[in-house]
Amino acid sequence: DPEVTQTPSHQVTQMGQEVILRCVPISNHLYFYWYRQILGQKVEFLVSFYNNEISEKSEIFDDQFSVERPDGSNFTLKIRSTKLEDSAMYFCASRGQVGSEAFFGQGTRLTVV
Q: Interface residues with other proteins (CB under 8 A)?
A: 4, 31, 33, 35, 40-45, 48-50, 55-56, 91, 93, 95, 98-99, 101-107
Using DSSP bridges, classify how beta strands 88-95 and 31-37 pair: parallel, antiparallel or unpaired: antiparallel
Minimum CB separation from other proteins for residue 14, in Å? Answer: 24
Q: How far apart are CA 83 and CA 26, in angstroms?
A: 30
Identify which of residues 18 and 98 has a Cβ nearer to other proteins in the complex: 98
Do strands 53-57 and 65-68 pair parallel, antiparallel, or not at all (unpaired)?
Answer: unpaired
Nearer to other proteins, 42 or 52 (CB): 42
Instruction: Quote the least distance from Cβ 111 to other proteins, whole Å.
Output: 14
Q: How far is the CB of 35 from other proteins (least distance, A)?
A: 8
Residues 6+ apart with CB under 8 A from 66: 77, 78, 80
